[in-house]
Amino acid sequence: MDTQEKNVTSTIKSVDRALEVLEAFSEINGGIKLSCLSEKLNMNRSGVYRLLQVFKRRGYIEQMHKNGKYHLGMTAYTVGQKIVSNMEIMRSAGPVMEGLVRDYNETVYLVVRCDQDVLFFENAGSSHPVNVMALKGRRYPLSECAAGEMLQAFGITFEEDDFPKQPQNDAHLEVLKRQGYSIDEHRLGEGVASLAVPLLNADKLAVGCLCFVGPMSRFTEEKINSSLLPPLIDAGHAISAQLGYYGFHTG
């Protein structure tokens, strides 16, 4: 390997480490001290410190004066908001989600795939005094919630070596694909129910899901079947049409 190739390899490794540090903050609430962050990432403390100083200068990371903890800064927030506003799926789903909350007063989430997990990416909240914990920004394995099942049933395929295999019940996923929705209870938390429908692109692949999420005390079978599931399915169809899929039949 010549000098130029070595420099490129070194640069790639440095960028990879920097992104690993920045991504770690997506799982941190309330800030974190340098020693804890370096331990969490299993990285050299001085190396993490140098990266944090770069992020501080660019506004991606801020440091609290009282306790010395680091947390995400306004630049990270601003960039994140611009990414969200520029995403086609968010532009299509946002107004529909607000309409669902206005008409049915239950929290709606936009869920997307993130490797072998689902990410509760964005939400429109209800005004009920009793709601379940906020799920925005949380990740769950594909097999552990209704949205994950929909993403698997209509999912984009990956190369075999990209991710570790997860056990799948293909017959169960085929049933869900034919009916076009999935319902779960207790899988996002004790006493929590969710309903999920796929958001399909022109290739009939799920690029996301739309979900009603709320306490099971309100999500009775009668309410689900009569008041929540029909409009959620219609909303999924409407968003899918904006994303290029016009079949409207999930079978």
Same domain, 190 and 214: yes
Same domain, 51 and 174: no
Nearest in space to 239 (alpha carbons), one of 111, 103, 102? 111
Residue 40 lies in a domain: yes
Q: The domain that contains 207 carries what CATH number?
A: 3.30.450.40
CB-based burial, 121-149: b 16+ in 10 Å, e otherwise:
bbbbebeeeeebeebeebebebbebbbbb
Residue 143 lies in a domain: yes
Can you give the pLDDT of all 251 residues of the chain as single tens digits? 566 666 667 778 888 888 888 888 877 778 899 999 999 999 989 999 999 999 999 998 999 888 889 998 888 877 776 665 557 888 889 999 999 999 999 999 999 888 788 989 889 999 988 788 889 888 899 989 999 999 999 975 444 334 444 445 788 899 999 999 999 999 999 999 999 999 999 888 999 999 999 999 999 999 999 999 999 999 999 999 998 998 765 44
Range of the domain at 233: 87-242
Same domain, 98 and 56: no
Tell me the H-state helices in 165-210: 170-179
Q: Is the pTM of this model over 0.75?
A: no
Question: How many domains does the structure of the chain reveal?
Answer: 2
Final residue of a domain: which of 78, 99, 130?
78
Q: Residue 156 carries which DSSP code?
A: P
Same domain, 109 and 55: no
Q: The domain that contains 46 carries what CATH number?
A: 1.10.10.10
Final residue of a domain: which of 33, 50, 78?
78
